[in-house]
Structure 1
């Protein structure tokens, strides 16, 4: 800054020349300098005051807006921030093929305690034990008065229970929001859905994870936010599932069986329309896995895919289909059935004497072990194994259930000639009912391999296993079995049902077979002339006591149950009964 001198020389000289006092010039310049300094300071102060005023106005405006926002917001309890990954609780619904809810979510609360904040621990323990009878009052009191700072009391609360706990009024009892999995249909389709539980848990949320069934198989998909909350659509039909389950449960009680399973499948797409395993459970209260005893006795055991059994004479259909496909025989070819058939130290017998010879069709209709073994001899062990492999009997079923891989077929250690003979009529190889359903679907749909699926939309047909001509011949034979063979009790008026019975003695744990315990199976296709569905019904240790003597064969036990299932389910599937046309009106004219 350049300052003007108080005594400028030019003015001093001029003043002296005029005889004026030079000191007046200095005083005047000093006065003007002070005035300029005063004006500058005033200007600076006014600017600062203006800036300060603007800042105060802005601050008051922000505070006012925030107060208005808080006043308009819904009040909520403050939550402590925690580090770590957020828990994603949202889980997609599961629906059947028609959009009916099978599994959904329900907002609820969990109850936890902070003992240091409790006022009356003894009273709280006593009243909680009254609300929840499964809680022990003394154990609660010990936890509340000990050194614990936090403990869960109940993972899920009903609204009524929550209100009762709230009425206790102790600040040490707190609620945490939860999203629980709800199965509104209870036990229906329990083995398909499986069940769920809590994974990672926090005070304000919990992770819902699948424990079994499709809930576990599609756990990642159901929890993936990228799906936008779209439901998982299964191939099940809820109405048909309910009908099948009701009939099977009644048949199981009527036949005094310890367990049962039924599978209804689309023969073209492999879609499982219904899958029932009894006894079952409620996935809302999924029981614990058994730690001792036979796992198959647990209600958690899925007999449809985990149960691996010798399926008896239902396998004869595959032997005959292969013999027809390879041109070894025709349906009318006569087979030697004189018995017993001796192979080394083994003897193969029929259930009863069917005579010295039968046609290939009658071998299946009358269920001749000897006739089927004769056909297996012509096929050979190597070709038999290859054919069953193409049908999927040598590997686990690729079904969308976590339990499916456990149902691995039991094969003979060496595929010897005697193994070939016994496997031809259903002994020596164990498979699941789902294997059997897929195999019959393949033979019924024109010969294309079927892969079972629980997803709506189905899959594409696989490789051709048998020709259309072989498929048609097998369908005709299976219809003969029901119309006048071993499965007449499965015939349903109005619906052309074809099928095959199979009765296998249950093996003992110590070796050998039980004489009075069997596994009865009936595999059906309908309508037999143009099949759309396959049904497999299996009863574990059935016994029909309606006659003078107990009857355990599949024709008396599994077949009638399957017939009733078809009678109930076919209309629900949109199949119209075929009405036989009358030959004449039968009207007699009479004169008055």
Structure 2
């Protein structure tokens, strides 16, 4: 007989599904716990991530160490600088930079060693110090190349990251360094046109310059060769359009790499064409002669005694082979570059006329050129009679090469002074200038400068078919209490073609030496003048200037000047007026 269990001991309610319900409850509880744990970790990691972004990207208000550094936002596209033919002189391209959060760098020593191999230019001691610091952000290297970025990525060092930026590039390198200038790492203009045009470039406005890059390269090569040949310490060249004031080439050597301006010497950073002020020597006789003829106190046939002039404890003499006595005409005084005759011409014209005339040509105040690096002329104070005597032959007053070129252009281009400029003029809009000389006097001065090239001190600058007109100058460098007789500058200013000048070329060498073939001379006729001639010979075809028959009767008539005949009319007591050229 079967024994049945006591009904009182059996569980009440349904029995078949009880195990299934217990299992389901356990599973549901576990799922909830997993979800909650995930949420907790998600919130935690999210907070950590936001904290890192706050520290590394935006700085940390209330950071107890105060060491958070704000990330530099990529700059807006900085506009291009281009030469007159559209070639890029400065542009902005994408770049990347390397930074680190030192607190995330696990092993600063190992990281610095590996980074030093990838980026040999870094200071290893500074790198280790940066990676070991308590800061949350440090720049390690700005402006990486793609190859450098790839190598650093391969290292896989924790705590390093890249920032997308933009960087300024100069395709012509140092060729236009003194004109274009440079920016800092954050694309802010520091020197040259990059500085003076900073607002326009930052606003995205591209600027076309007057510089011709082809001409610039040729001029630099010729200048470098001349510096080496004559063992000069430095040199500079300016080429200007005589009828617009546009500067087509401006080279100053030594120059510098615009990518590494801090590595350049002060001498290399110095723009001799705009910052340098020099006593120009005999090239200033262009202005003294024009003054004498304009005033009516001298004509080409007026003669003056050439004996030495005693002024206090000093004596003014002519240079070596020049006449030391006798009476010579203004024509010969200019052709042979006589100092004493120039002084007498000044004395006849008078001190006040000299002051007004040189001021009219823009030689007594800084050039209005667009560069920030512009020097002020050294004008005598007081401007005495003795000062006027020495200024007559190029001493006692110092100007920049750009000022000299601009003034000479006005003397020979028909008498219009155009402000020098580094911007290309729009051919559709006439250039406005100021009349400073009569056209007749300008023609006479062109003819006199042609005489100097044919039979004066600048014969080595002549180029067949281009009818070069010129004047040379040599001067010792001024030092406290006098002049350094062993240091000086030699300069040449040439015009071509002289019958209708289109271009002005000025060359200058510092401390040029006498070499074999110069017969012991280191004056401008032996070094600066031939340099000018080589530049003119090469730039003529480049600029489309057609050589003419040297015996063309029309041209010879235009350049005719009779040393015993009439001078050009001396009337430029005309009111200063604005004229178009």
Whether TM-score is above 0.5 comes out as: yes
RMSD after superposition: 2.1
Aligned counterparts, 1:519-534, within 5 A? 519-534=489-504
CA distance in 1, matches of 2:550, 2:335: 24
Q: CA deviation at 1:308?
A: 0.5
Is 1:572 aligned with 2:542? yes
- Choose the corresponding residue for 1:223, options 189, 202, 206: 202
* Correspondence 1:485 to 2:456: yes
> Residue 312 of structure 1 corresponds to which residue in structure 2?
281
Aligned pairs (5 A) from 1:408-487: 408-457=376-425, 460-487=431-458
TM-score (norm 1): 0.78
C-alpha deviation, 1:136, in angstroms = 3.6
Cα drift, residue 464 of structure 1: 1.3
Partner of 1:372: 342
Partner of 1:70: none
CA distance in 2, matches of 1:186, 1:302: 16
Q: Is the partner of 1:112 in helix, strand or coil?
A: strand
Assess if the C-alpha contact under 8 Å between 1:388 and 1:394 holds in 2. yes
Matched, 1:109 2:96: yes
Match of 2:236 in 1: 261
- Provide the TM-score with structure 2 as the length reference: 0.80
Given candidates 259, 272, 278, the residue that maps to 2:247 is 272
Structure 1 distance, partners of 2:227, 2:89, is: 25
Q: Distance between the aligned counterparts of 2:99 and 2:162, measured in 1?
A: 6
Counterpart residue number, 1:335: 303
What SS class does the counterpart of residue 371 from structure 1 fall into?
Answer: helix
1:517 aligns with 2:487: yes
Q: In 2 relative to 1, CA 124–551 (structure 1 residues): closer, same or farther, beyond 3 Å?
A: same
How far does the alpha carbon of each residue in 1:164-195 deviate from its partner, in whole angstroms, 9 at most, with x for none?
10001123110001111000111111100111
Change (3 A) 1:88 1:152: closer
- Say if 2:182 and 2:194, in contact at 8 Å, map to a contact too: yes
Q: Which has the larger radius of gyration?
A: 1
Which is worse superposed, 249-258 or 353-362? 353-362
In 2: Cα distance, 1:577 partner to 1:127 partner = 64
CA contact (8 A) 2:81 2:209 kept: yes
The one-character-per-residue Cα deviations of 1:459-498 (angstroms, maximum 9, x if unpaired) are: 8332211100000000000000011100100111221100
CA shift at 1:150, angstroms? 1.4
Decide whether the 8 Å contact of 2:298 with 2:348 is kept in 1. no
Counterpart of 1:213?
192
Q: Kindly tell me the number of residue pairs found equivalent between the two proteins.
A: 484
Q: CA deviation at 1:133?
A: 2.0
Residues 1:358 and 2:358 aligned together: no
- TM-fit CA distance, 1:121: 2.7
Q: Alignment partner of 2:262: what SS? A: coil
CA contact (8 A) 1:235 1:456 kept: yes
Mapping for residues 184-199 of structure 1, pairs under 5 Å: 184-198=171-185
In the other structure, the counterpart of 2:294 is: 325
| Matching residue of 1:170 | 157
Distance in 2 between the 1:389 and 1:411 partners? 10
Q: CA distance change for structure 1 residues 449 and 359 in 2, over 3 Å: closer, same or farther?
A: same
Structure 2, unaligned runs of 5 or more: 1-51, 60-69, 554-581
Candidates 137, 140, 143, aligned match of 2:124: 137
Alpha-carbon spacing, 1:146–1:464, altered in 2? closer, same or farther (3 Å):
closer
SS of corresponding position for 2:298: coil
- Tell me whether 1:498 sits opposite 2:464 in the alignment: no
Between the aligned partners of 2:535 and 2:453, the Cα distance in structure 1 is 15
From 69, 80, 83, give the equivalent of 1:93.
80
Residues 103-112 or 118-127, more deviating = 118-127
CA contact (8 A) 1:120 1:170 kept: no
Shift of 1:289: 7.1
Distance in 1 (alpha carbons) for counterparts of 2:513 and 2:297: 38
Unaligned 5+ runs, structure 1: 1-77, 199-206, 584-592
Q: Does the 8 Å contact 1:89/1:208 carry over to 2? A: no
Q: Secondary structure at the match of 1:275?
A: strand
CA distance in 2, matches of 1:335, 1:236: 44
Give 3-state SS (helix, strand or coil) of 1:430's partner: coil
* Secondary structure, counterpart of 1:531 in structure 2: coil
